[in-house]
Structures are given as C-alpha cells and as structure tokens.
Amino acid sequence: MNIESLHKLFLDCNTVSTDSRKVAENNMFFALSGDNFNGNVFAQDALKKGATYAIIDDKDYLTSDKTILVNDSLKTLQALANYHRQYLGLKIIALTGSNGKTTTKELIHTVLSQKYNTTATIGNLNNHIGVPLTLLSMTKQTEIGIVEMGANHQKEIEFLCQIAQPDYGYITNFGKAHLEGFGGVEGVIKGKSELYEYLVTNNKHIFLNADDAIQKEKLKHYIKKFGFSQNDSNYFKIEFLGANPFVTLKIEDTKIQSNLIGEYNFTNLSAATIIGKYFNVKIDAIKKAIESYIPTNNRSQIINKGNNTIILDAYNANPSSMEVALKHFSKQEQNNKIAILGDMFELGNSASEEHQNIAEFANSLNIDSIILIGEHFFKANINSSKVKQYQTFEEFKAKFKPITNSTLLIKGSRGMALERVLELL
C-alpha cells in the first residue's frame, strides 16, 4: 500500500498508537520492533482492543484486511507523518538544544495559544518516533505546530528536519549534553546546528538568542532571522529584572513575572516572548500566558513540604544545566541550603572529569551541605566536611536523617529518579 492510500485510511482514524497497552477505539496501530521485542506480536491484541488497522512488517501476522503489511513499520510511520505534514500545509516551528527544550516548547505553546490553535510535542516525545507521532496528532484545525527535536548523535536533527520540514526554528543553547554520542562539545554544536543548516538551505526563518556568541556568529550573514538581546540594539530588547527566586523580565515597558526559577530560564522565557511578538500576539496576552504557566514534571518546581522548601529539578541533568542550577541556588538568601545531586548520564569518556568538576564547583559555592548520589559522583575526590557521597540511592536512603527548616535543590539525570527524595522528607 502506498503512503497516499494509507493516509486516507489514517484520516478515518482518530489517532495512531505504537503501544498496544494504550490502544483505544479507532486507533491506527503501528507494530514497531526493537532489539528485544517484536511489535508484530501485539497486532492482534491491538485490533481486539479497538484499533481499526494494524500496520505490520512481518507477513506471518497478516491475518485479515485490518492488518496492513509494509516493508518497515517505523519507516512507514515516518513517511506517513511527513505526508500528513505536507497535506496539512500548516506552519511548523522546530526547536532543539542542549538544555531547556521542553520548557521553551511549553512556553511557546502557551504564548501562541493565546491567538492560534496550536499543537505541540507532548512531554518529550522528540525522537525518530516521537516527532512523527507529534505531526500525526495535528489536524486541519491546527494553525501552528511546535515540534521539539532531541538528539544524541550526528545527523539525527537533520533526519528529523526531513520528516517535519519546519518553517521556523530555534536552538535554546549548546551545552555539555550527550557528549558520548556527539563526541564532545564541538560535536554537540555541529549536531544541533543541523537545524540551522536545514532552515538556511531552505530559506526559512530562524529565531535566535543574539546574546549567545555561537548563535550570533553562525547566523551573522543570514537575513531571515528574528532575535532577542539585552544589549544589541539590532535585535528585540528584553530586559532581565531578576530571579529571586522567580524570573522577571521587561519588554516594551511591560513587566512580566514568571513562575520559573533560575536566571537560566530567562532565555527560555525571552524566546517564547519574541516568537509571540513575531506572530503578532499582543503583549498583554504574552504577559497573561507567561504568568499563568506553572512548571510540572520535575522541572524547576517549587514544592513546600513540611517546613522545607524544595526546588525539584530532577527531570534531567548535564554539566551545563547542573552548573547554572547550582549557581542560581547559591545566590538564594535562604538559610541551610542543601544540594542533592545525582549522576549525569551519557557523558562517555568525559564522565569522571565532568562529575569531579561539578563536585568541586558545588563545594566552592555558598551552599551549606552537598549530597552526591551515584557511581560517578561517589568516585569524585572531594575533601570537604560539607560534602557527603553515596554510591546508590538505596545507600543514601538507608542513612537518611530527617531534614527540617531547609531549602533543597534536587537535580540529577532522569535515570537517577531523584524525585524519590520527596518521599523521605
């Protein structure tokens, strides 16, 4: 079956699904397989649960006219998403970067929703499966689509751009994330810049942080750009008013008080603001959107538990995001500040060095106590009375003592699941 014919069947379904456990009535199920599982096995189960069609790539599971055999289910999903994107003909904004992608995406979605019918990536479904699912969730009613793109190796962003064909793009920053796959910081810059390369090659629009030296240099000769800056009058001026603890900014004599902590969130807020301005969202509506946005999913959440105040930033971590979070935390005026830090993943050969650097950096700051959890942090060589190291979370839990009247920063990579600390407080 060709993609055009498959798309016609898709339009009669309410959505697509790749997980037979979550299939609902009138879904189109794609049987995706991995190294350790065969998705075709679940095709019949998906149909029994109400799926209208099951897309399979193994003829042994071709049982009825509701099972549609293709050469490769994943490639078919990606091709269908690209076809659907062209069929809709809507505006697509793509964003990538080392830190702040999901927060920035949610802020852009919140701002643009003041004026437009927008559809954005759900959670962080931002890879070679998530991007197609995001595109296929868009409908004729969608006016602007916002697509988050994640990557941990070269050519991944380039591939996602071929699927989504964005009209606009923004890179949050270039940091020390996924160093193992990218082969170092220069590899990160090269990999993330594949979004720029696609947009420039296709004469599309780029949003940029003009105070980021890398972005500014890479785009200095490109015309179709719209950026923000605190200092450069050639770009839209947005003023940082402070972060104690919530970020406040000023644009066109309008003060906007966010619910996001940390100076590092200023650029995320600024990006959403100028993208709103570009799409003619009124400043009062931008202010309303930003001031109503409350972070969730363990991202820069402020939680009060007993007489403790917790900054929960345990969704993910890398050396760049860890450093700015610690720097912000050290500037807070609260008493008895405790940083609970978990290992950072996907750093490859740089892991030992980067964990040592963060441990030393944390120790040098105005933080009363530092708790390091994980294999890499346990190996860091820190001779300090205010630093305690635990090889596993279970070891930390076993030796945990009640904490009261304190302000805590909890940050680590997703695999560390440091939100478990909340259960102990």
pLDDT per residue as tens digits for the range 273-299: 999 999 999 999 999 999 999 887 667
Which of these, 199, 201, 133, 207, lies nearest to 167 by C-alpha position? 199
Per-residue pLDDT at 179: 59
Which of these, 322, 293, 320, 301, lies nearest to 416 by C-alpha position? 322
Burial of 223 (0-12, 13-18, 19+ CB in 10 A): exposed
Distance, in Å, from the CA atom of 40 to the CA atom of 272, rounded to the nearest integer, reads 41
Residue 365 backbone dihedrals phi, psi, to 5 degrees: -95, 170
Please state, rounded to an integer, the average pLDDT across all residues of the chain: 91
Mean of pLDDT values over 174-180: 63
Question: Which range is least confidently modeled, 38-47, 92-101, 182-191, 330-339?
Answer: 182-191
Q: Does the pLDDT value for residue 89 go beyond 80? A: yes
Per-residue pLDDT at 263: 85
Residue with the larger pLDDT of the pair 99 and 363 = 363
Mean of pLDDT values over 118-145: 94
Which of these, 93, 103, 94, lies nearest to 267 by C-alpha position? 103
CA distances from 361 to 50, 114, 324 (A): 54, 41, 11
Which of these, 212, 328, 199, lies nearest to 270 by C-alpha position? 212
Q: Give the pLDDT confidence of 154-163 residue by residue, as tens digits.
A: 889 999 999 9
pLDDT class of 204 with cuts at 50, 70, 90: very high
Q: What is the DSSP letter of 71?
A: S
Please give the angle made by the CA atoms of 317, 319 and 322, to the nearest 5 degrees.
Answer: 60
Per-residue pLDDT at 166: 98
Per-residue pLDDT at 298: 65
SS3 assignment, position 355: helix
Proportion of the chain in helix, strand, coil states, percent, rounded to 5 = 40, 20, 35
Q: Give the pLDDT confidence of 180-192 residue by residue, as tens digits.
A: 666 667 777 888 8
Question: Up-side HSE of residue 179: CA atoms within 13 Å toward CB?
Answer: 18
Taking a C-beta distance cutoff of 8 angstroms, is the pair 375, 391 a contact? yes
Rounded to two decimals, the pTM is 0.84
pLDDT class of 42 with cuts at 50, 70, 90: very high
Taking a C-beta distance cutoff of 8 angstroms, is the pair 270, 249 a contact? yes
Distance, in Å, from the CA atom of 198 to the CA atom of 165, rounded to the nearest integer, reads 8
Q: Which residues of 20-53 are buried (b: 16+ CB within 10 A; e: fewer)?
A: beebeeebbbbbbbeeeebbbebbbebbebebbb
DSSP letters along 212-274, please?
SHHHHHHTTT-SSEEEEESS-TTSEE-EEEEESSEEEEEETTEEEEEEEESGGGHHHHHHHHH
Q: Does the pLDDT value for residue 44 go beyond 90? A: yes
Residue ranges of domains in the chain, CATH in brackets: 3-72 (3.40.1390.10), 89-292 (3.40.1190.10), 301-424 (3.90.190.20)
Maximum average pLDDT range among 190-194, 337-341, 413-417: 337-341
Q: Does the pLDDT value for residue 268 go beyond 90? A: yes
In this structure, the number of other CB atoms found within 10 A of the CB of residue 347 comes to 21
What percentage of the chain has pLDDT greater than the value 70? 97
pLDDT class of 178 with cuts at 50, 70, 90: low
Which stretches of 41-182 are assigned E, i.e. beta strand? 53-56, 67-69, 91-96, 118-120, 144-148, 168-171
Question: Up-side HSE of residue 384: CA atoms within 13 Å toward CB?
Answer: 20
Q: Does the pLDDT value for residue 376 go beyond 80? A: yes
Q: Does the pLDDT value for residue 109 go beyond 90? A: yes
Per-residue pLDDT at 11: 96
Q: Does the pLDDT value for residue 177 go beyond 60? A: no
Mean of pLDDT values over 108-132: 94
